[in-house]
Structure 1
Amino acid sequence: MTTLGVLMMAYGTPRNLDEVEAYYTDIRRGRRPTPEQLADLVRRYQAIGGVSPLYEITVRQAQAVERVLNGQGGRFRVYLGMKHTAPRIAEAVAAMHRDGIDRAIAIVLAPHYSALSVETYHEQARPAAEKLGLELACVNQWHLEPRFLDALAARVEEALARCEDPRRAMVIFTAHSLPARILEMGDPYVDQLHESGEAVAKRLGLSHYTFGWQSAGRTAEPWLGPDLLEMLPTVAQDGYREVVVCSQGFVADHLEVLYDVDIEAKQHAERLGLRLVRTRQMNDDPDFIQAVADVIERARREQGW
């Protein structure tokens, strides 16, 4: 049996505060941040303990997916490639080639597709694979994968159980905001986020839920809204006293969850008299790992590999 490669791609994160400037510069496409911008980002990392756990979690996710795939009778090898930090996507593709892999499934650890998010990973992977003669099958979206929805619904249900009055708590499904120009591009990102949130709401019989955005970039162009922080006053004015935030667009604990929700949004909610409960992130929990393995297996079958 031939070993099939899996190129698992993720955003990347600095592993210590000394790496923050290089990371920020890479996100800004080579433009170094101002001293004020850098200081603000460092402050955020310091607020969550000095470093994000994202890299270690992503490594564990890759290792766990490989174990599940091979435990199901397959022969897979998972390679991790990061968009903004080492190991880079092209480096992961080169490693596959060195190991004799000639076919691979490429998947981004982000369930919802956008030309400005998931596609940018594929744009790095495809030319690297073509240059080396490696056949690459890219997964665009997996937001309606049944076991992913199961895992998401279980976490919303768990968070509601932590509320004093679950039936009167507002659930807000959030995702990373993107530039608003995607609305003119016919991009499916917004629709897909609604589809997965609606699917979870239907499974749980939710009657109080809505959608919002978070962690918008600090650029001059408009970004998708409303932002979570802007929504909370309205939630309070509508008479709610508890709110569950489900960051469905993220699959691991990192700065946008640990700071933007757990610190910034929670403090804002408290000032408004709201109790904010956040759903657990997927991380390397077995239910989520099985969902990702299902996505990869389906992609393999569709390719006839």
Structure 2
Amino acid sequence: MAYGTPGRPEDIEAYYTHVRRGRPPTPELLDELTRRYQAIGGVSPLAERTKAQARMLHRMLQDRAPDRYVVEIGLKHAEPFIEEAVEHLVGLGVGRLLGLVLAPHFSAASVGEYLGRMRTHAGLLDPSLPVGAIDSWHVEPAYVGFLSDQVATGLSTMPRATKVLFTAHSLPQRVIDGGDPYPAQLRATGEAVARQVGLDTTDWALAWQSAGRSPEPWVGPDILQVIRDLATDGRTGGVLVCPCGFVSDHLEVLYDLDIEAARIAEQVGLAFTRTRVPNDDTLVMAALAERLIAEDDSLSPIGS
């Protein structure tokens, strides 16, 4: 399961309306979002990246358990929606349903919603169908290893006094105040990568990005402010951003970081680079395939 994205420029308004829970965006908001998509080529590559991830995941499952699994894409805000994917799989007569969200860190406001929609619709269609899920994979060794390699490679091209910023999508503060595990899991990812790369605690920090436009408070500090603050401390020569909360190239990476954050860094005189995201990296997808097989094996036997 993944977030989804408009497939064509003319789909942006319908997509944005769905994201806003049926409230159409104002002309100003729609124009702003459209300009962002135009800046990265007109549409986001997320749809194609998600398809590539699904293909690679299926290949990894096939290598380990031939013809045992069917992989379907279900999206939160675009077709095919999560419910459509569930309907298709139930229609095929699958014996179990396994959910995997292409986001490493659990939050009730993100991964929890995906899995909830999957479980609810599966229960409506077939209450007896066993359903399993991977809630989070934020310290999966293959994922931590991928990030660590990217950070080490990036640092080799940067000034010595470079700060590593691990970033993820911000959430409303009320979600975090309710005890959501999201920040702790993000910090655990950062700590795991820092250990593997050999970073001191002063060499890295967490930052948040891409906060929504609702009037309520969102979790900070925002990465743009962090970059400005680092430029004033007199000790930092560069910023390396590792967007550990994202696993695909999409708007929040290609615009919010590669364009917006990079522009701020240039304005304040800091070197800037960003690590690659996994997309359909073979080792990461193989690890997720193994997690799914383990989850499948933990469910009650079919027919029991």
Scaled by the length of structure 2, the TM-score of the pair is: 0.94
Q: What is the aligned partner in structure 2 of residue 95 from structure 1?
A: 88
Asked whether 1:299 is paired with 2:292, we answer: no
Asked whether 1:216 is paired with 2:208, we answer: no
Does structure 2 conserve the Cα–Cα contact (< 8 Å) formed by 1:21 and 1:33?
yes
Asked whether 1:188 is paired with 2:184, we answer: no
How many residues were matched structurally? Answer: 295
- Name stretches of at least 5 consecutive residues in structure 1 with no aligned partner: 1-8
Does structure 2 conserve the Cα–Cα contact (< 8 Å) formed by 1:114 and 1:188?
yes
Q: CA deviation at 1:304?
A: 5.4
Q: What is the aligned partner in structure 2 of residue 275 from structure 1?
A: 271
After TM superposition, the structure 1 = structure 2 runs for residues 217-256 of structure 1, keeping only pairs within 5 Å, are 217-238=212-233, 239-256=235-252
Q: CA deviation at 1:180?
A: 0.5
Does structure 2 conserve the Cα–Cα contact (< 8 Å) formed by 1:12 and 1:85?
yes
- Tell me, in whole angstroms, the C-alpha distance in 1 between the residues paired with 2:190 and 2:290: 20
After TM superposition, the structure 1 = structure 2 runs for residues 139-178 of structure 1, keeping only pairs within 5 Å, are 139-165=134-160, 168-178=161-171
- Name stretches of at least 5 consecutive residues in structure 2 with no aligned partner: none
Does structure 1 conserve the Cα–Cα contact (< 8 Å) formed by 2:39 and 2:255?
yes
Q: What is the aligned partner in structure 2 of residue 10 from structure 1?
A: 2
Asked whether 1:199 is paired with 2:192, we answer: yes
Does structure 2 conserve the Cα–Cα contact (< 8 Å) formed by 1:145 and 1:295?
no
Scaled by the length of structure 1, the TM-score of the pair is: 0.94
Paired AA for residue 102 in structure 1: G
Q: CA deviation at 1:303?
A: 2.3
Q: CA deviation at 1:241?
A: 1.2
- Tell me, in whole angstroms, the C-alpha distance in 2 between the residues paired with 1:251 and 1:291: 14
- Tell me, in whole angstroms, the C-alpha distance in 1 between the residues paired with 2:192 and 2:295: 22
Does structure 1 conserve the Cα–Cα contact (< 8 Å) formed by 2:130 and 2:299?
no
Distance 1:213 1:273, change over 3 A: same
- Most deviating of 11-20 and 152-161: 152-161
Q: CA deviation at 1:136?
A: 1.3
- Tell me, in whole angstroms, the C-alpha distance in 2 between the residues paired with 1:253 and 1:189: 21
Distance 1:51 1:251, change over 3 A: same
- Most deviating of 197-206 and 235-244: 235-244
Secondary structure (helix, strand or coil) at the match of 1:157 reads: helix
- Tell me, in whole angstroms, the C-alpha distance in 2 between the residues paired with 1:54 and 1:148: 19
- Tell me, in whole angstroms, the C-alpha distance in 1 between the residues paired with 2:209 and 2:170: 6
Please provide the CA RMSD for this pair: 1.1
Does structure 2 conserve the Cα–Cα contact (< 8 Å) formed by 1:26 and 1:84?
yes
- Tell me, in whole angstroms, the C-alpha distance in 2 between the residues paired with 1:235 and 1:98: 54
Instruction: Give structure 1 regions of 4+ aligned residues with deviation exceeding 6 angstroms.
Output: none
Q: CA deviation at 1:120?
A: 0.7
- Tell me, in whole angstroms, the C-alpha distance in 1 between the residues paired with 2:239 and 2:230: 8
Q: What is the aligned partner in structure 2 of residue 108 from structure 1?
A: 101
